[in-house]
Amino acid sequence: MITVAIPNGLVHLAESKAICPNCKREIPFDDIESKFMKQNNFTIKMKCTCGEIIGVSQDFRGDYIAFKL
């Protein structure tokens, strides 16, 4: 869990579970978040450091899931 302080209290965010299907690297939460902010989509495409293009989506709990495109 990641706890973020906001003016009215604290918000608990689910930690990223996005693992690259190719190299098994855990995609940093910040990387995903910044890409999601630029798009209105619930699924984004991003490139892992291994060079694999992967899709990242959110499940019903708000956890990030990475998958092979």
Residues that bind Zn ion (CB under 5 A): 20, 22-23, 25, 48, 50, 52
Choose between 11 and 28: whose C-beta lies nearer to Zn ion.
28
Least separation, in Å, of the C-beta of 69 and Zn ion?
12
Least separation, in Å, of the C-beta of 4 and Zn ion?
27
SS3 for 5-69 is EECCEEEEECCCCCECCCCCCECCHHHHHHHHHHCCCCEEEEECCCCCEEEEEECCCCCEEEEEC
Choose between 34 and 68: whose C-beta lies nearer to Zn ion.
68
